[in-house]
Amino acid sequence: MSAAIREWLRRLRATFHKAPEDAEMEEELRLHVDMIADELKRRGLSFEDAARQARLQAGGIAQVMEQRRDQRGLRWLEDLIQDLRYGVRTLRRAPVFTAVTIATLTLAIGANTAAFSLVDPLLFRDLPVRDPGSLVQFTWRYPGDPPLNVFSLDDYAQYRDRSTVFSDMVGLAPLRTESSAGREPIGAWMVTGNFFHALGVRPALGRVLDVSDDTPGGAPMAVVSWRYWQARFNGEERALGAIVEITDRRLPGPVHATVVGVAQPEFSGMTVSMRQDVWVSLGAIPTAMRSRAGVGLLARLKPGASIAQARAEMRVLDQSRIDGLAQRDPQWRHVAIDVTSARAGLSTPLTDQFGGPLSLLMAIVVILLLLACANIGGLLLARGASRQQEMAVRVSLGAGRLRMVRQVLTESLLLASIGGALGLVGARFGATILTRIMTSGTQSLGPSPRLEIPLDARVLTFTIGVTLLAALVFGLAPAIAAFVSAPASALRQGGGAQTKSRRVFGNGLVVAQVAISLALLSVSQLYIGHLRHLRDRSLGFDRDRVLLMSVNTSRAQNREQLAALYRDVVARLHAIPGVDSVAASGMTPMSGGAGSAFLRVEGFDEPAHDRQRVSLNTVSPNYFLTYGTPLLAGRDFRDSDMDQPRRIIVNQALARKYFPGRDPLGRHVWLENQRDPYEIVGVAGDAKYNDVRLPSPPIVYQFALMSRGSSDLSLRTSGRRAGLADDARRLVDDVFGTNSVGRVTTLAEQVDASIVPERLLATLAGFFGAVGALLAAIGLFGLLAYTVARQTKEIGIRMALGATRGRVSRMVATSAGWLVSVGFLLGAPTAFWSTRFAARSVENLPAGEAVPIASAAAALIAVAFIAVYVPTRRATRVEPVIALRAE
């Protein structure tokens, strides 16, 4: 073995140091022949005969040299280096072609890498725990709400003890930690004691939690993540026994948990997109609060049990919970527990929101890659045709066909590798920007979302794979062309005509590009249209120029004090130049906070099984003015309503539902669990509440100058004045106490943040759609330019025989027209199908519309015209005399 390696190493070295040994070798051979000749001479042959005989006996020096050269170095490596050198030279001779190709590949491979590096950890990568494939999670979904994985500890105990299909069931819940002075907030999770054992996660130091840590009233124990151990304790053993302090607003006081172990390095929790530093035992929850604590559930299927079985069993077990809840709220009848795989981790708002869009994005970039390959393949083929003569010469000089194919493929690989390397760099930036967009919209519940995009082996493998595949795909056609090149005919024809099969193939590539980019553009038009629709769809308020501030109002002891503070702050805010109106409210649209209650109305009998809650908000006077929501009937709240608090304003949707054909003004309604009625004093226009995608729900606006605890202030401003927000913040802090202002944002930002997935898709699909159209245009342009170049002689003859410039340009344009038409013919059904598919993966997206496809086609035609114009012009500029003389 070692001998074989030694041989290989020497050959490798010899590959790079060549010249002196070759000369030595040749001398040795010559001496060998001389020796034979001497020997023969001694036997009496004449000098000439001896020399002849010796050469015959020894064999040809040149052949032996060649053989020895093969043995001396590594032949394939030498060939590869030679091909690469040649390839670099060839590419440098055509700088524009090379630049366009590499830019295309960089974009395509970069986009794929960026998308993959996001999609993989979020959706596909298995968690680093024992047998992740058998892990499942439970979710349920209240109508109109996102899916939730929240159950009470009692539910957990019941399911765990009564289910038969699971070998383990664990409960876990994120704690809402706050940053204590000078420290980042800790990503802390409360977990049941069997968490680590069920997952098969071992301690790197100390021990992991176990069931004995669950004892009610027991001291809270903690296991820290490897990363946190390194960051906070420098990876030292003294971490064991240290105290980690966790502050959660919902708990009466800070939790002091004792660190008993460090989890193995690979394990960083059950969710990909949330920071996880510490896992604490159930002891963290005071016994009194246990009945109210909610946990997410995760279970491991017994060997052989299927998800369908688990789902069926859990629906039975969960029925009593649903029945209990449905007695108060019949909407619960529509809720059924679902069991889904958790092999890639528990779903989070991030995976729920972006799972669909990211998969679509992945599909889009894969299509883009195909398009890029078709494009480059076409360009290479056209170039290869003009290199036919060069190939023919080389074949005539003895180059093997496979050797030619190898050389062509090496050139493709060279292009793809440069594109891949640049793409990898670009993907790092792209992915960072993508994560920033993705996390910009999520309201943080629990640990702050943290999405890390590692440049790891999987991403690298993916990129290399994509690069090789791309090189193969776009290099295939030129390689085949090189293989079948017939030297004699190519040389004779002087590169004049092209073979029919090659022409058909080249045309086919352009048709495919037109078709694919039509589909791509249609999908992007669909998303852009949808986003525009969401933005324009009457929100019911004017989203521009409204400043939002969340204010901690706990300084006020009672209602009267709060009212005084409110009046003070409103008056002073009004004094700031540029502030037109000010209002306070319990929540602001699209903020994520919400309240709801059942409503009882005299003379309106709601069927018991279909009772639905109405949405609630508490607002101050001028709220509707500030938001630009019209008051359709009645009046706005007044300061004096302070004394008569049981008056409400409702929106149109509520009036339509509960008072069809009647005047709601002056009528009385009852809110759930309240004895005294409210009187309706006004009807406001419909406005979006918490989801731009849904129509406005029925809303009850109650009166409050400001709400206790915390409240939102909204300021309508005129013009954009820098520093206005800072002025307002200082002023509010002045009134309510230092640091009482929390989040400051604008209404427009808040609305946009609620539709990040749509914006992400529209932006990226739009970008890639445009790139796709550009590629198709380049492909069309390349093919036509090439065709015109090859037909120069033909055009010259035609013009010499009296064809007008108009006729010639018609001839060129007609062939282009055919290509584009066939592309559209094939592309239209593809586009129809892809838009339908794309629409299905995004919620509330109208499908089956022709508008996106039509606008995409229009855009493509415009681009095609430009691509056709230049080659056509060049064709008409052909001077017959010059064209014919070129022969």
Partner 1 sequence: MAARIEQVSGGHVQLNMGTLYPGLMRLEQRGFVRGTWGVTESNRKARFYALTPAGKKQLAAEKREWNRMVTTMQAILNEPS
Q: Minimum Å distance from CB 509 to partner 1?
A: 46
Please say whether the beta carbons of 526 and 852 come within 8 A.
yes
Q: Which is nearer to partner 1, 67 or 341 (CB)?
A: 67
Q: Which is nearer to partner 1, 63 or 738 (CB)?
A: 63
Q: Among positive and negative, which fits the CA dihedral 304, 306, 312, 315?
A: positive
DSSP string, 651-670: EHHHHHHHSTTS--TT-EEE
Residue 810 binds to partner 1 (criterion: CB under 8 A): no
Q: Within positions 5 to 24, which residues make up the interface with partner 1, using CB under 8 A?
A: 6-7, 10-11
Taking CB under 8 A as the criterion, the residue among 23, 31, 289, 881 binding partner 1 is 31
User: How many alpha carbons fall within 13 Å on the CB side of residue 537?
Assistant: 16
> What is the distance between the alpha carbons of residues 852 and 855, in angstroms, rounded to a whole number?
5
DSSP string, 864-877: HHHHHHHHHHHHHT
> Alpha carbon of 683 to those of 410, 439, 618, 652, 679: distances in Å?
73, 37, 15, 6, 12
DSSP state, 876?
H
Q: Which is nearer to partner 1, 25 or 325 (CB)?
A: 25
> What is the distance between the alpha carbons of residues 195 and 209, in angstroms, rounded to a whole number?
7
Of 27-35, 230-238, 267-275, 435-443, which segment contacts partner 1 by CB under 8 A?
A: 27-35
Q: Minimum Å distance from CB 32 to partner 1?
A: 6
221-224 and 255-263 strand pairing: parallel
Q: Which is nearer to partner 1, 40 or 700 (CB)?
A: 40
Q: Which is nearer to partner 1, 78 or 691 (CB)?
A: 78
Q: Minimum Å distance from CB 77 to partner 1?
A: 15
Residue 35 binds to partner 1 (criterion: CB under 8 A): yes
Taking CB under 8 A as the criterion, the residue among 15, 22, 26, 39 binding partner 1 is 39
Q: Within positions 240 to 299, which residues make up the interface with partner 1, using CB under 8 A?
A: none
Amino acid at 733: D
Q: Which is nearer to partner 1, 72 or 530 (CB)?
A: 72
Q: Minimum Å distance from CB 475 to partner 1?
A: 34
**Phi/psi class of residue 249: alpha, beta or left (left: φ > 0; alpha: ψ in -120 to 50)?**
alpha
Residue 32 binds to partner 1 (criterion: CB under 8 A): yes
Q: Minimum Å distance from CB 46 to partner 1?
A: 19
- Crossing angle of helices 401-440 and 756-790, rounded to 10°: 150
> What is the distance between the alpha carbons of residues 812 and 870, in angstroms, rounded to a whole number?
11
221-224 and 188-191 strand pairing: unpaired
**To 5 degrees, how large is the angle CA 595–CA 599–CA 602?**
160
> What is the distance between the alpha carbons of residues 112 and 115, in angstroms, rounded to a whole number?
5
Please say whether the beta carbons of 236 and 183 come within 8 A.
no
DSSP string, 54-73: HHHHH--HHHHHHHHHHHHT
Of 25-33, 165-173, 710-718, 809-817, which segment contacts partner 1 by CB under 8 A?
A: 25-33
Q: Which is nearer to partner 1, 30 or 492 (CB)?
A: 30
Q: Within positions 372 to 411, which residues make up the interface with partner 1, using CB under 8 A?
A: none
Q: Which is nearer to partner 1, 6 or 730 (CB)?
A: 6
Of 28-36, 398-406, 468-476, 564-572, which segment contacts partner 1 by CB under 8 A?
A: 28-36
Please say whether the beta carbons of 776 and 517 come within 8 A.
yes
Closest CA to 138 of 306, 319, 337, 334: 337
Q: Minimum Å distance from CB 9 to partner 1?
A: 9
Taking CB under 8 A as the criterion, the residue among 16, 18, 23, 38 binding partner 1 is 38
Q: Minimum Å distance from CB 399 to partner 1?
A: 23
> What is the distance between the alpha carbons of residues 176 and 247, in angstroms, rounded to a whole number?
8
Q: Minimum Å distance from CB 51 to partner 1?
A: 15
Q: Minimum Å distance from CB 44 to partner 1?
A: 17
Binding mask 47-76 for partner 1 (x = CB under 8 A): ----------xxxxx-xx--xx-xxx----
Q: Minimum Å distance from CB 38 to partner 1?
A: 7
Amino acid at 186: I
Taking CB under 8 A as the criterion, the residue among 23, 28, 167, 341 binding partner 1 is 28
Closest CA to 517 of 208, 253, 243, 859: 859
Q: Minimum Å distance from CB 67 to partner 1?
A: 5
Of 35-43, 131-139, 203-211, 654-662, which segment contacts partner 1 by CB under 8 A?
A: 35-43
Q: Which is nearer to partner 1, 74 or 597 (CB)?
A: 74
Q: Which is nearer to partner 1, 60 or 133 (CB)?
A: 60
Of 29-37, 215-223, 694-702, 763-771, which segment contacts partner 1 by CB under 8 A?
A: 29-37
Two tokens, residue 715: 């300021």
Of 3-11, 131-139, 671-679, 710-718, which segment contacts partner 1 by CB under 8 A?
A: 3-11
- CA 471 from centroid of its chain's CA atoms: 25
Burial category of 713 from C-beta neighbours within 10 Å (exposed 0-12, middle 13-18, buried 19 and up):
buried
Q: Minimum Å distance from CB 64 to partner 1?
A: 5
Please say whether the beta carbons of 249 and 288 come within 8 A.
no
Q: If binding means CB under 8 A, how many residues of this protein chain bind partner 1? A: 28
Q: Minimum Å distance from CB 79 to partner 1?
A: 18
Two tokens, residue 314: 């859990």
Please say whether the beta carbons of 626 and 718 come within 8 A.
no
Q: Minimum Å distance from CB 55 to partner 1?
A: 10
Taking CB under 8 A as the criterion, the residue among 34, 544, 663, 679 binding partner 1 is 34
Please say whether the beta carbons of 620 and 637 come within 8 A.
yes
> What is the distance between the alpha carbons of residues 522 and 858, in angstroms, rounded to a whole number?
10
**To 5 degrees, how large is the angle CA 783–CA 473–CA 405?**
90
Instruction: List 387's β-bridge partners, or say none.
Output: none
Q: Which is nearer to partner 1, 68 or 657 (CB)?
A: 68
Q: Which is nearer to partner 1, 40 or 518 (CB)?
A: 40
Of 32-40, 480-488, 491-499, 740-748, which segment contacts partner 1 by CB under 8 A?
A: 32-40
> What is the distance between the alpha carbons of residues 31 and 38, in angstroms, rounded to a whole number?
10
Q: Which is nearer to partner 1, 32 or 141 (CB)?
A: 32
Q: Minimum Å distance from CB 52 to partner 1?
A: 15
Q: Minimum Å distance from CB 226 to partner 1?
A: 47
Please say whether the beta carbons of 794 and 482 come within 8 A.
no
Of 30-38, 144-152, 437-445, 594-602, which segment contacts partner 1 by CB under 8 A?
A: 30-38
> What is the distance between the alpha carbons of residues 216 and 222, in angstroms, rounded to a whole number?
16
Q: Which is nearer to partner 1, 34 or 49 (CB)?
A: 34
List interacting residues with partner 1 (CB under 8 A). Answer: 3-4, 6-7, 10-11, 25, 28-29, 31-35, 38-39, 57-61, 63-64, 67-68, 70-72
